[in-house]
């Protein structure tokens, strides 16, 4: 089967027409060019932009649902094209794979060529050294053998590879040297590191997983699929094979700056966060007391446990009119400012016939203002209070996911006080307030803290770090090293000295090439302790 055929043109001569094999070869050459690799890298960065603009299901499914409800026309189309699952969409994966193939197809052939180049011999000395990019021609008052020996020592000290040809005894002595071959090695190492980093990131995305959970003090957590508040597994992760372990949040030590004036910007600033925990790795494992702090994660079950946030989780008890407990739990509230003014929602699903929903603020150091109402003056527990309103109805309309810190009141009705105004309650620790209309009571028993833990498993993290380090090394090598060839010819003179001719070439632009030649000549002059004399050129005069 032939890969080309000819066709006549208007000018007469025939031109080759590519067949199937020739077309495939042309496409492969285009794909594996460095220009295409850079273009695909640009496309990949542009393709990642929608992931930061639109909400992603893997991060917050509730926001995606809200977006689809608000944008009835464009939302479904965006969903069809995968704009809410950008990093797991087929088109993003296609760009990713094409980039990897392009880089590998570009780097691997260059590695073969470079390997052959490393093993190839150094060229012989050219006939006319004065025509090279940098050159020098002088006489030294020393024997040719002494000059060649000094040149061999000087170039060898600079890690040049040497080639010295055997010439007639009465003829000139020649020496070829080549340095900076590792510059191309560094260039290839840098491009190979890009492949390693890209594959490592893909491996972390496919085989890694992340789970976030809020754990109040004096409570337990077991690393199982159902216990995480949010869980983002990779497509190839088998959640049933997650290594089980347990953690007990004994205490969360938090300190704030208060040994400064109250008007100082440092007043109330956090100083330390440390979680004291007890862990058990696997079934029947030994309980171990450990601690987690900022930038010092806990390693357990092949995962890293990070301390990302903290706040307060008021322990609230809700009873019905007969005193039956409907709700008894520590409910996390989310801080909104540096003084830990926190918002949250208490969802009493056990109430009947209508479910109860409380919303409002927790203030660790409550104060009042005529404009902004209740607020917090300090992040630590000095005058804690819980300020709440109340709704009743259906807490979860349509079964849609929602944030634990807010209420969906679309199918709920606000509860009014006896004066006809919306119910507002301020509860301090130990207080019990009766709910209007015989709905029961609510009690604030205590105010424990909560710790936000992020459990992450990323098998691509270490390979990505190795790839980044290799890339840094390769970049330094390609920027520092210079690919040069230096040729030396030493001819004996009638006066018993030597005529030294030096020529040099560089791969690419090398503004210091002539300086390197001059430095070598100066080294030869100093090593042989011989005087130098410029060689007369009949046309150009003395050099």
Query: Which tens digit of pLDDT belongs to each residue from 83-136?
Result: 988 888 889 989 999 999 998 998 888 899 888 888 888 899 998 999 999 999
- 127, β-bridge pairs: none
Q: Are 238 and 350 members of one domain?
A: no
Enumerate residues 6+ apart whose C-beta is below 8 A from 463: 196, 199, 200, 203
Q: Are 331 and 237 members of one domain?
A: no
Q: Are 61 and 144 members of one domain?
A: no
Smallest Cα–Cα separation from 86: which of 54, 60, 41, 42?
A: 54
Q: Are 284 and 377 members of one domain?
A: no
pLDDT band at 537 (very low <50, low <70, confident <90, very high): very low
pLDDT attached to residue 1: 42
Smallest Cα–Cα separation from 337: which of 302, 306, 311, 360?
A: 311
Q: Is residue 53 part of a domain?
A: yes
pLDDT band at 345 (very low <50, low <70, confident <90, very high): very high
Q: How many CA atoms lie within 13 A of 112 on its CB side?
A: 5
pLDDT > 70: what percent of the chain? 92
Q: Are 304 and 322 members of one domain?
A: no
pLDDT attached to residue 538: 35
Longest Cα–Cα distance in the chain = 124
Q: Are 215 and 284 members of one domain?
A: yes
From 117, 137, 156, the end of a domain falls on 117
Q: Are 47 and 60 members of one domain?
A: yes
How many domains, the chain?
4
pLDDT attached to residue 541: 31
Q: Write the pLDDT tens digit of every residue in 257-274.
A: 988 888 888 898 988 899
Smallest Cα–Cα separation from 151: which of 79, 160, 57, 452?
A: 160
Enumerate residues 6+ apart whose C-beta is below 8 A from 540: none
Yes or no: say if 250 and 217 are a contact pair by the CB < 8 Å rule: yes
pLDDT band at 421 (very low <50, low <70, confident <90, very high): very high
Yes or no: say if 140 and 535 are a contact pair by the CB < 8 Å rule: no
Q: Are 463 and 496 members of one domain?
A: no
Q: Are 51 and 93 members of one domain?
A: yes
pLDDT band at 7 (very low <50, low <70, confident <90, very high): low
Q: Is 368 helix (H, G, I), strand (E, B) or coil?
A: strand
Mean pLDDT within 196-211: 89
168-182, 195-209, 293-307, 467-481: lowest mean pLDDT where?
168-182
pLDDT attached to residue 536: 43
Q: How many CA atoms lie within 13 A of 72 on its CB side?
A: 0
Q: Is residue 8 part of a domain?
A: no
Residue 74 belongs to domain spanning: 19-117
Q: What is the DSSP string of 451-464?
A: EEEEEEE-TTHHHH
Helices (H) and strands (E) in the chain, counts: 10, 31
Q: Write the pLDDT tens digit of every residue in 368-406.
A: 988 878 999 999 999 999 999 999 999 998 877 778 888
Q: Is residue 135 part of a domain?
A: yes
**Hey, what are 302's tokens?**
């092949």
Q: Are 418 and 324 members of one domain?
A: yes
pLDDT attached to residue 543: 30
Q: Is residue 5 part of a domain?
A: no
Helices (H), 360-490: 461-480
User: What is the crossing angle of helices 34-47 and 90-119, to 10°?
Assistant: 150
Q: Is residue 195 part of a domain?
A: no
Q: Calculate ∠ Cα 268-270-275, nearest 5°.
A: 135
pLDDT attached to residue 12: 52
User: What is the crossing angle of helices 513-528 and 144-157, to 10°?
Assistant: 130
Q: Are 156 and 210 members of one domain?
A: no
| More confident site: 25 or 292 | 292
From 89, 117, 145, the end of a domain falls on 117
Q: What is the C-alpha radius of gyration for the chain, rounded to an integer number of angstroms?
A: 38
Q: Write the pLDDT tens digit of every residue in 12-22.
A: 555 555 678 88
- 230, β-bridge pairs: 212
pLDDT at residue 182 tops 80: yes
Q: Are 262 and 328 members of one domain?
A: no
356-365, 493-502, 532-541: lowest mean pLDDT where?
532-541
- What's the chain's average pLDDT? 87
pLDDT at residue 530 tops 80: no
pLDDT attached to residue 372: 79
């Amino acid at each position: 089967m032939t890969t080309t055929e000819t066709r006549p043109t208007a000018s007469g001569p025939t031109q080759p027409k590519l067949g199937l094999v020739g077309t495939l070869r042309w496409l492969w050459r285009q794909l594996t060019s460095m220009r295409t690799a850079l273009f695909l890298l640009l496309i990949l960065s542009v393709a990642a932009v929608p992931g930061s603009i639109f909400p992603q299901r893997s991060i917050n499914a509730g926001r995606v649902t809200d977006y689809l409800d608000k944008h009835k026309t464009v939302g479904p189309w965006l969903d069809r094209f995968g704009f809410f699952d950008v990093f797991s969409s087929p088109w993003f994966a296609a760009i990713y794979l094409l980039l990897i193939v392009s880089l590998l197809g570009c780097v691997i052939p260059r590695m073969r060529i470079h390997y052959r180049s490393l093993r190839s011999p150094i060229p012989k000395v050219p006939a006319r050294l004065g025509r090279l990019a940098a050159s020098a021609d002088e006489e030294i008052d020393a024997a040719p053998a002494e000059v060649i020996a000094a040149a061999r020592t000087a170039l060898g000290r600079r890690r040049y590879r040497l080639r010295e040809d055997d010439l007639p005894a009465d003829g000139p002595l020649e020496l070829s040297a080549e340095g900076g071959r590792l510059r191309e090695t560094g260039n290839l190492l840098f491009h190979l590191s890009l492949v390693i980093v890209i594959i490592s990131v893909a491996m972390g995305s496919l085989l890694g997983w992340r789970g976030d959970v809020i754990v109040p003090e004096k409570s337990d957590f077991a690393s199982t699929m159902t216990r995480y508040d949010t869980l983002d597994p990779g497509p190839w992760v088998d959640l049933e094979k997650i290594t089980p372990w347990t953690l007990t949040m004994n205490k969360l030590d938090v300190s704030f700056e208060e040994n400064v004036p109250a008007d100082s910007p440092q007043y109330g600033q956090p100083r330390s966060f440390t979680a004291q925990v007890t862990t058990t790795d696997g079934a029947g494992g030994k309980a171990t007391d450990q601690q987690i702090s900022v930038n010092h994660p806990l390693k357990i079950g092949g995962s890293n446990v990070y301390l990302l946030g903290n706040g307060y989780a008021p322990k609230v008890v809700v009873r019905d009119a007969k005193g039956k407990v409907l709700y008894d739990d520590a409910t996390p509230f989310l801080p909104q400012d540096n003084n830990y003014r926190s918002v949250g929602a208490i969802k009493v699903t056990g109430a009947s016939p209508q479910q109860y929903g409380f919303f409002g603020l927790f203030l660790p150091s409550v104060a009042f203002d005529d404009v902004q109402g209740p607020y917090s003056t300090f992040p630590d527990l000095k005058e804690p209070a819980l300020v709440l309103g109340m709704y009743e109805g259906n807490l979860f309309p349509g079964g849609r996911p929602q944030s634990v810190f807010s209420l969906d009141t679309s199918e709920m009705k606000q509860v009014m006080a006896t004066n006809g105004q919306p119910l507002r309650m301020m509860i301090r620790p130990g207080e019990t307030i009766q709910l209007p209309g015989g709905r029961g009571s609510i009690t604030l028993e205590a105010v424990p803290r909560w710790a936000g833990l992020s459990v992450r498993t990323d098998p691509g993290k270490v390979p990505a770090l190795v790839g980044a380090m290799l890339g840094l090394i390769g970049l330094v090598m390609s920027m520092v090293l210079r690919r040069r060839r230096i040729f030396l010819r030493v001819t004996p003179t009638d006066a018993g000295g030597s005529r030294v001719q030096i020529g040099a070439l560089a791969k690419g632009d090398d503004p210091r090439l002539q300086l390197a030649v001059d430095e070598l000549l100066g080294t030869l002059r100093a090593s042989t302790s011989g005087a130098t004399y410029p060689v007369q050129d009949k046309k150009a005069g003395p050099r």
